[in-house]
Structure 1
Amino acid sequence: MSASLINTEIKPFKATAFHNGKFVEVSDADTKGKWSVFFFYPADFTFVCPTELGDLADNYAEFQKLGVEIYGVSTDTHFTHKAWHDTSETIGKIKYPLIGDPTHLLSRNFGVLIEEAGLAERGTFVVDPAGKIQIIEVNAGGIGRNAEELLRKVKAAQYVASHPGEVCPAKWKEGEATLAPSLDLVGKI
C-alpha cells in the first residue's frame, strides 16, 4: 500500500459470495448505511485461515449485535468457498458471506493483493456506514488475527463516530473513559 486508504471510500465492486447455503451477489451498495468488515485471507483449505475464520464465526453474533456485517474474502471462487464450507467443521459454522475474488478486483481495490502469488494478504478493513475505511490491519501470512480485538476496535470506531470531539485511548473498552482532545491535555498524558 503506497497511500493510506484511511477515510477513503471503498471502490465499487460486484462479486459472488457463498452465504447461508446459497450463491449471492454482493456489491458496494450492500455496505451503505451499515458498518462492515472486509476480512481478506490468502486461501481456502490452508492452515492459519480456518482458525481466523472460525474465530470470527464464534464472535459473529457480537458483531451482528453492533449492526456489523463481516465479509470473508479470498481470491478463491465462491465454488471453492462452498466446497470448503461443506468439508470443514470449522468453516461449516460460518454464517457470514464468503466472497470469491478470482479476478482480484477486491484484493487490488483494498491494496492487499500479492501480485506474484495471486493471493490476498491477511488484511482487515473496517468500513463505516458512509462506505469509508476507518481501520486497516495487515498481518504477515503466518500471523493470525484475533476477533475479540477486532470487536474492540469496531466498538471504538463506532463510539468515535457517534461522539464527535471524543477519542478512545489505547486499550479502550466499551464503558471506559474517553478523551476530549484539547490544549489542556497536551503534555499531561
Structure 2
Amino acid sequence: MPRINSPLKPFSTDAFRDGKFLTVTDADVLGKWSVFFFYPADFTFVCPTELEDLADNQAEFDKLNVEIYAVSTDKHFTHKAWHDTSPAIGKIKYTMLGDPTGHISRNFDVLIEEVGMADRGTFLLDPEGKIQYIEVTAGGVGRSATELLDKVRAAQYVASHPGEVCPAKWKEGSATLTPSLDLIGKI
C-alpha cells in the first residue's frame, strides 16, 4: 500500500486531453505537483460530479502549478466519448488517463480486483514524485475540489517552509506552527 513519501511507480498509458489522445508516463509527472484522482468508471453517477468540481476549480490548481490526472480503468476512447456527450465532463481540460489493465490503480493500491474498477482515491505528489497526501473514500462518497486545494496549499507551504507545520483547518495566509519544546502543552 502506498504511504506518505512513497515514490511514484513506473507506468505508461494512453490518455485523453484537450480533444487529443496522448501517451503519459511516470516521467511526464515529475517536475511539478500532481494529483492522481482515481474514480470507479465513466458514465456513472458520483464520478461526473467530482470531475466537474475539479474542472470548475482547475484555474486554482493551475495557479498552484498542479497537474490533474483523472484515472479510471476505462480506455482513453471511452474518456473521449464521455467528454463529447456529457456537459459536466465536457468542461474538463485536464488529463484523463486510461487504465484498462489496472496497472496504475494497482500501483496506488486502489484497484477493486473483483470488479476491475478503482476506489475513489486521491493522491497528491510533490515534484519529485513522492506522495504527500492520500485520501480514499467509499464508492458512494464524493470528494471536494476546494478541500483538496486546501490540502495542496498546505503541502506546498510545508515543503517550502521547513520547520513549520499547518494546523487543522489551515487556510493560505493563516498562522502556522513552529514545533519546539516551548510549544509542548501550550496548544
TM-score range (shorter-chain normalised) is over 0.9
Which residue identity is paired with 1:44?
Answer: D
The answer for the alignment partner of 1:83 in structure 2 is 81
Of the candidates 162, 166, 171, which is equivalent to residue 164 of structure 1? 162
Does 2:55 align with 1:43?
no
Shift of 1:98: 0.5
- Deviation readout 1:134-167 (Å, 9 max, x if unpaired): 0000000000000000001000000000000000
Runs of 4+ more than 3 Å apart = none
Determine the structure 2 residue equivalent to 1:154. 152
- 1:16 aligned residue (14, 17, 37): 14
Q: Distance in 1 between matches of 2:117 and 2:163?
A: 39
Cα deviation, 1:1-40, whole Å, max 9, x if unaligned, reads 4xx4210101011011100000011111111110000000
> By how many angstroms is 1:169 displaced?
0.3
The two structures, once aligned, show a CA RMSD in angstroms of: 0.6
Residue type of the alignment partner of 2:72: S
Partner of 1:98: 96
Residue aligned with 1:169, SS: coil
Gaps of 5+ in 1: none
Q: Given residue 45 of structure 1, which amino acid in structure 2 is its aligned partner? A: F
Query: Can you give the 5+ residue segments of structure 2 that lack an aligned partner in the other structure?
Result: none
In the alignment, the residues of structure 1 paired with residue 83 and residue 31 of structure 2 have an alpha-carbon distance, to the nearest angstrom, of 29
1:145 maps to 2:143: yes
Match of 1:109 among 101, 104, 107: 107
Does 2:116 align with 1:118?
yes
Cα deviation, residue 187, structure 1? 1.2
User: Which residue of the partner structure matches residue 5 of structure 2?
Assistant: 7
Count of equivalent residues:
187
The code of the aligned residue for 2:167 comes to: P
Identity %: 75
Hey, what does 2:134 align to over in structure 1? 136
SS in structure 2 of the partner of residue 98 of structure 1: strand
Distance 2:176 2:29 in 1: 28
Deviates more, 1:179-188 or 1:109-118: 179-188
- Partner of residue 63, structure 1: 61
- 1:186 Cα deviation from its structure 2 partner: 1.1
Structure 2 counterpart of 1:74 = 72
Whole-Å separation in 2 of the counterparts to 1:171 and 1:43: 31
Q: Structure 2 CA distance, aligned partners of 1:141 and 1:47?
A: 10
**Cα displacement (A) at 1:82:** 0.4
Which AA in structure 2 matches 1:105? Answer: H
